[in-house]
Structure 1
Amino acid sequence: MLSRKNPYRYNQQQWKAFLFLFAALIAAASLIYTNYLVKSLSKSERTKAEVWAMSTRSIITMPDVDDQFISFIYAVRDSLSLPAIITDEQNHVIFWRDLDSTKTNIAPIESDTSHSKLTYDPEYFEKQLNIMKKRHKPIILPLDTGEEWLVYYKDSQALQNLRVFPYVQLSLIGLFLIIAYTVFNSIRKSEQNLVWVGMAKEAAHQLGTPISSLMGWLELVRIKYEAEDDSVLDEMENDVKRLEIVADRFSKIGSIPSLSSHVVYDRVRDYMNYFRIRTSDKITFELKGDQQVEAMINVQLFDWIIENLLKNAVNAISSEGKISVNISENIAKEEIFIDISDTGKGIPKSDFETIFQPGFTTRKRGWGLGLSLTKRMVHYHKGHIFVKESEIGKGSTFRIILKSNLKYEPTQI
């Protein structure tokens, strides 16, 4: 079954695409610039590590240098703050900087308490060396003896934070976009609801006067032509009363509906009897199921639900077919199932959710509001409606679920 473009869904997709594109551009720009900063800072830190390594080598290998020069080298070395380890070619630790002080210490030499040596936790240093080896290639320092020192280092805390920053930034931007979209969507729906409520109440008000006039004219016709029991006038009166019900429905939009206990089977039967004689003789109707189960419903709104679903079923049947309604109860969950089936065109699975959105229709002159309103009215009864099953060319079944013993807190229509 082919369907027209749903403007509601189309506009929603446009906004989603715009927000996604906007978020993607921000994300790309943020990642590119942050990557540039990370590379620049990483290059700077490697230079610092090289300077620190050379100054440390000078202090250790040239002890007889002028004290003033040594002081300068110490100052240069101490101005550089990077977690680093110097090892020989056999991975023996020679010197380190800015590591956990609880894992490193200076211990006195047992044979001579006036001297001391550096000691460290081997497991801790092995772990730190493995981390440093994965992060950066070592800096190689050649010695006069022909040996080499290997300098390993980690990124500074500032560089580590800078690597994480874009992800934090993107998370905040994503959160902002989600909140902005939610707020915008809520405001848009609120505006739509206000417009809908205003139009509905105005329609009900405008219908009031002609409906009252029609009732008066019918009474005059009965009296003038002495047609108290005329079947045609009776059906005309039923239709005028139906208009009164429709006007009453629209007048309730924006207010809290009143609910009362009714036998579901009786309400469906009464409306089906009214609807049957106003439908083609080629379409047969069947009502079956539990005839005793009760639910808290609003009669006008419940009849509207059944009306929309029956009309939808009739429109799905091209020439002749069958519409059946089955009422059952799930006692364990205190739920009532109302299944409305037809032998019409069927609904594609991809449209099972879409058909309840405003604007979706398969008819050339349809407004796409019937099922959307139906879903909304079912929710007023604290119930659910969905497409239970459907097969192209064979028909569809809609299921309404209501509570059979509902402690209902009414909400605004």
Structure 2
Amino acid sequence: MVNKEHLYQYNNKQRWKLLLFLFAAFIAAASLLYTNYLVKNLSRSERTKAEVWAMSTKSIISMPDVDDEFISFVYAVRDSLSIPAIITDSAGNIIFWRQLDSTKTNIQTQTDSAVTHLEYDPGYFQKQLSLMQRNHAPIYLKLDTGGTWLVYYRDSDALRQLRIFPYLQLSLIALFLIIAYTVFNSIKKSEQNQVWVGMAKEAAHQLGTPISSLMGWLELVRIKYAAQDDSILNEMERDVNRLEIVADRFSKIGSTPTLTNHLIYPVILDYMNYFRIRTSEKIHFELTGDKNLEAKLNIQLFDWIIENLLKNAVNAIESEGNISINITDNIAKEEIFIDISDTGKGIPKSNFETIFQPGFTTRKRGWGLGLSLTKRMVDYHQGQIFVKESEIGKGTTFRIILKSNLKYEPTQV
């Protein structure tokens, strides 16, 4: 049964993330649409300016007898154009130009008579004309002589900058938000880790005294009733030792675990034998695979991993079923695969990733921390854990991947 409170908190958190993402997407879309609106208006304005420049140039040429004041006005209108433009005839010959690089449009050449002339660079003009032809459709002007001029122009620097500005702005904002999220998330995790470490060490400290007392009481019972080899007391002692191991686990949280080479098969077998007799006889356990595969392990943490996964498997089996562990390897990648399978109720595919999130649980009284801690402990072993496959009503297989024969520095628990 699903823990409704934890599931609600998890879904509420995901809902807020989605709403914030949609709000950010709305702001980005609004910014782009408004900028695009401004660009279109400015682009129309620049095309009008190009048309006015072309018509004023035509007027200067076609109306030589107009009074000087009107000619000055037309020149002023023509010279007001602030965008690069070129006029060609119908054959593509350049007639006039505006706002081009003066160092390219006027170059000095020296003839044999030592007379200096000003000419333009044909290659530069052809390049600019090609750019303008790709940038905008030409403006056609009919001449009184029957010919046609083609006016080409390209966007002003201001318009080009305005086109890329929203993308640059959004990129900078996104970069800032990513950095801010990373920093604050790191601070939050650090604070959470400190709380976890403090609580874990305090729990270990509180468990220490009653565990020591239980060990003493067991010895007194053995002596009083002369039951040194009593099987029930032996199993009770194993449970007390297990409590001691659990307390030791919590006491070491926050420190760097020691990893040493161990054969995986006997480590898993030892815990499975302990766990088997504390579980219903209707659940059958099986361990198969290569018995000689070795990896760097911290036995206490690795037992904890297997314990959490086996407990989850038992909880998934409602009455009777099977739990199997298979150990194989991938020699090429130097990896060891540990597949833990059960014949329980299965996991929906949509939950394959979320089950490892803290607080997510399908149990009525669960805290949703088992698989989260399991994943973290697998990370300490520089490994991976994921749902390999699952089918509703048929069961689930978790896969752990560990590196074999690989040297690395362990991280803190």
TM range (shorter): 0.7 to 0.9
Matched residue of 1:219: which SS? Answer: helix
The answer as to whether partners of 1:7 and 1:359 remain within 8 angstroms in 2 is no
- The structure-2 alpha-carbon separation of the partners of 1:73 and 1:242, relative to structure 1 and needing over 3 Å to count, comes to same
Match of 1:85 in 2: 86
Q: Deviations over 1:91-138 (max 9, x none)?
A: 654322234668756999x9xx99x99877499559727844862562
The answer as to whether partners of 2:329 and 2:336 remain within 8 angstroms in 1 is yes
The answer as to whether partners of 1:137 and 1:152 remain within 8 angstroms in 2 is yes
Match of 2:387 in 1: 387
Match of 2:178 in 1: 178
Structure 1 position 274, deviation (Å)? 0.9
Distance 1:211 1:126 in 2: 87
The answer as to whether partners of 1:341 and 1:397 remain within 8 angstroms in 2 is yes
Match of 1:247 in 2: 247
Equivalence map 1:226-237=2 (5 Å): 226-237=226-237
Deviates more, 1:254-263 or 1:399-408: 399-408
Deviates more, 1:145-154 or 1:328-337: 145-154
Distance 2:222 2:32 in 1: 82
Matched residue of 2:409: which SS? Answer: coil
Match of 1:225 in 2: 225
Matched residue of 1:386: which SS? Answer: strand
- The structure-2 alpha-carbon separation of the partners of 1:36 and 1:406, relative to structure 1 and needing over 3 Å to count, comes to closer
Distance 1:407 1:288 in 2: 27
Deviates more, 1:120-129 or 1:29-38: 120-129
Structure 1 position 289, deviation (Å)? 2.2
Structure 1 position 336, deviation (Å)? 2.4
Equivalence map 1:8-407=2 (5 Å): 9-63=10-64, 70=71, 73-88=74-89, 93-99=94-100, 121=122, 125=126, 128=129, 131-132=132-133, 135=136, 138=139, 140=141, 149-407=149-407
Distance 1:119 1:407 in 2: 69
- The structure-2 alpha-carbon separation of the partners of 1:179 and 1:90, relative to structure 1 and needing over 3 Å to count, comes to same
The answer as to whether partners of 1:317 and 1:343 remain within 8 angstroms in 2 is yes
The answer as to whether partners of 1:288 and 1:326 remain within 8 angstroms in 2 is yes
Distance 1:397 1:37 in 2: 57
Structure 1 position 295, deviation (Å)? 2.1
Structure 1 unpaired stretches of 5+: none
- The structure-2 alpha-carbon separation of the partners of 1:63 and 1:335, relative to structure 1 and needing over 3 Å to count, comes to same
The answer as to whether partners of 1:8 and 1:358 remain within 8 angstroms in 2 is no
Structure 1 position 363, deviation (Å)? 1.4
Distance 1:8 1:190 in 2: 22
Matched residue of 1:340: which SS? Answer: strand
- The structure-2 alpha-carbon separation of the partners of 1:352 and 1:319, relative to structure 1 and needing over 3 Å to count, comes to same
Q: Deviations over 1:242-278 (max 9, x none)?
A: 1111111111111001122222221111111111111
Specify the code of the residue in structure 1 equivalent to 2:174.
Answer: G
Aligned residues: 409
Matched residue of 1:86: which SS? Answer: strand
- The structure-2 alpha-carbon separation of the partners of 1:272 and 1:231, relative to structure 1 and needing over 3 Å to count, comes to same
- The structure-2 alpha-carbon separation of the partners of 1:35 and 1:367, relative to structure 1 and needing over 3 Å to count, comes to same
Structure 1 position 35, deviation (Å)? 3.4
Deviates more, 1:86-95 or 1:175-184: 86-95
Matched residue of 1:155: which SS? Answer: coil
The answer as to whether partners of 1:85 and 1:129 remain within 8 angstroms in 2 is no
Distance 1:235 1:287 in 2: 22
Matched residue of 2:329: which SS? Answer: strand
The two structures, once aligned, show a CA RMSD in angstroms of 3.4
Specify the code of the residue in structure 2 equivalent to 1:38.
Answer: V
Structure 1 position 297, deviation (Å)? 1.1
Distance 1:362 1:39 in 2: 54
Matched residue of 1:250: which SS? Answer: helix
- The structure-2 alpha-carbon separation of the partners of 1:205 and 1:105, relative to structure 1 and needing over 3 Å to count, comes to same
Specify the code of the residue in structure 1 equivalent to 2:38.
Answer: L
Distance 2:304 2:277 in 1: 17
Specify the code of the residue in structure 2 equivalent to 1:380.
Answer: Y
Structure 2 unpaired stretches of 5+: none
Structure 1 position 162, deviation (Å)? 1.1
Structure 1 position 298, deviation (Å)? 1.1
Structure 1 position 48, deviation (Å)? 3.3
Structure 1 position 396, deviation (Å)? 1.8
- The structure-2 alpha-carbon separation of the partners of 1:106 and 1:61, relative to structure 1 and needing over 3 Å to count, comes to farther
- The structure-2 alpha-carbon separation of the partners of 1:173 and 1:312, relative to structure 1 and needing over 3 Å to count, comes to same
Deviates more, 1:286-295 or 1:34-43: 34-43
Deviates more, 1:273-282 or 1:184-193: 184-193
Structure 1 position 194, deviation (Å)? 1.9
The answer as to whether partners of 1:89 and 1:149 remain within 8 angstroms in 2 is yes
Structure 1 position 89, deviation (Å)? 5.9
Structure 1 position 158, deviation (Å)? 1.3
Q: Deviations over 1:356-410 (max 9, x none)?
A: 2212222111111111111111111112222222222222222222223231312
Deviates more, 1:277-286 or 1:14-23: 14-23
The answer as to whether partners of 1:289 and 1:327 remain within 8 angstroms in 2 is yes
Structure 1 position 70, deviation (Å)? 4.9
The answer as to whether partners of 2:46 and 2:155 remain within 8 angstroms in 1 is yes
